[in-house]
Amino acid sequence: MEPKPEIDFDHFLGVDMRVGRIVAVEDFPEARKPAWKLTIDFGDDVGTKKSSAQITNYTREQLEGSLVVAVVNFPPRQVGPVRSEVLVLGALNADEGVLILRPDGDAQPGDPIA
């Protein structure tokens, strides 16, 4: 994948990335590409949000209860019958698909990514 064009730092600062905990994983048979419907808790300030995520190389059990990093200030996007409110971040790996970005240590839902 080609590198993206340069942006200024103020644009980057406008992206609100937070730690969230996946609290529910549902099947999404209506999706054009295989995906899960996720419910993610981002703590008191942001609340609980829904997302559609093409991360099917993970089982439901691997996802439920796990921490993720997501962009929480994009406008909602309609993905079939699902209103996706946040974008879960991951690395695109040619062999394994999307590999979720996960905080380590004692990160908590709602913690901002700096």
Residue 61 lies in domain: 16-100
Quick one: 38 exposed, middle or buried, by C-beta within 10 A (0-12, 13-18, 19+)?
Answer: buried
User: What is the tally of structural domains in the chain?
Assistant: 1
Return the pLDDT at 94.
87
Q: Answer whether residue 109 is part of any domain.
A: no
Backbone dihedral angles phi then psi of residue 29, each to the nearest 5 degrees: -65, -20
Q: Answer whether residue 8 is part of any domain.
A: no
Which residues of the chain carry a pLDDT beneath 70? none
Q: Answer whether residue 11 is part of any domain.
A: no
**Residue-averaged pLDDT of the chain:** 94
Return the pLDDT at 96.
86
Q: What is the CATH number of the domain that holds 65?
A: 2.40.50.140
